[in-house]
Amino acid sequence: GTSPSCTVTMNQAQSVSATYSGTPPGSAPVQVVAHTIKADTAGAGSSPMTTPPVDTPASGSLILVQVLTQNTGTFDGLSDNMGNTYVEVGTPQTYAGISAGSYLFECANARGGPGQTWTLTKNPNGYATNEATLFVVVLSGASQIGNWSYSNTSDYSGSTIRTTAANSVVVSFWGPADYTGSTSDPDNSYAPPTGWTLGDSAVDALNQNSGADAWITVPSSGSSVNPTWSAANAINNPTSSMWLVEVKP
């Protein structure tokens, strides 16, 4: 620590001890402590678009943000009202016929507090009314992300990851490109895999970057994880986007 200072005169053999308060890293379980979502509809969107506020820990949380956009030209920037910096996981991805954009960001040891929000800025050059969706998951007791994967070749699943630590939380961000339906029947009721906790979902037949997020605690290191989602109505486009992210204690 820096205050109060401790000075020891080394004129003979000395012993110094320290007592620490708080929870050592890895001793507390990883938990999802907040989540929120913001979805814009195509043709009626705005920029910037901001999530509803949630209360988050003052410090030390790990935040995951998935961004889905109508196309790869839509995304221009991601920020929050706590001054955190977000680092992209992997590279920008595509789905839905390689036109829609899928991005994942993380912030470790984040600052937080009451009323935290996240804002997506769209490219001002003709993209302000594009559809886009922000999915946010905030976790406590986390040190860093472990293995992760992205897939845009399956309809309800993704690419398998293998956990690298015991009692990690694995978060799934899943988004179908489309499903058989119409704008008069917008609710497709996405269902998470068995045993997973559903966070937020955005459902719309045609005019929204639809999708959902869910998470599960995996007790053992080295476990294979590849969940399968389901939907009330069949996906019309045979592919979807799936991020799988291990968050380690």
Averaged pLDDT score across all residues of the chain: 89
Query: Which DSSP symbol is given to 29?
Result: P
Q: What pTM was computed for the model?
A: 0.86
Q: What's the whole-number mean pLDDT along residues 177-197?
A: 72
Range among 95-104, 181-190, 222-231 rated most confident: 222-231
Q: What's the whole-number mean pLDDT along residues 125-138?
A: 94
Round to whole Å and give the CA distance between 69 and 38.
12
Q: What pLDDT digit, counting tens, does each position of 2-51 carry? A: 556 777 788 999 887 777 665 555 557 999 999 999 999 888 889 999 99
- Best CA proximity match to 96, nearest among 248, 246, 236, 243: 236
- Best CA proximity match to 63, nearest among 168, 202, 165, 171: 171
The residues near 88 (Cβ < 8 Å, ≥ 6 apart) are 103, 104, 105
Round to whole Å and give the CA distance between 132 and 142.
28
**% of the chain exceeding 70 in pLDDT:** 89
Q: What's the whole-number mean pLDDT along residues 61-71?
A: 95
Round to whole Å and give the CA distance between 51 and 35.
10
Confidence of residue 141 (pLDDT cuts 50, 70, 90): very high
**pLDDT exceeds cutoff 70 at 230:** yes
Q: Which two structure tokens, joined as six digits, stand for 1?
A: 């620590």
Q: What pLDDT digit, counting tens, does each position of 71-99 carry? A: 899 999 999 999 999 999 999 999 887 78
Round to whole Å and give the CA distance between 166 and 169.
9
Q: What's residue 182's pLDDT?
A: 47
Confidence of residue 186 (pLDDT cuts 50, 70, 90): low
**pLDDT exceeds cutoff 70 at 172:** yes
Indicate the residue type of 32. V
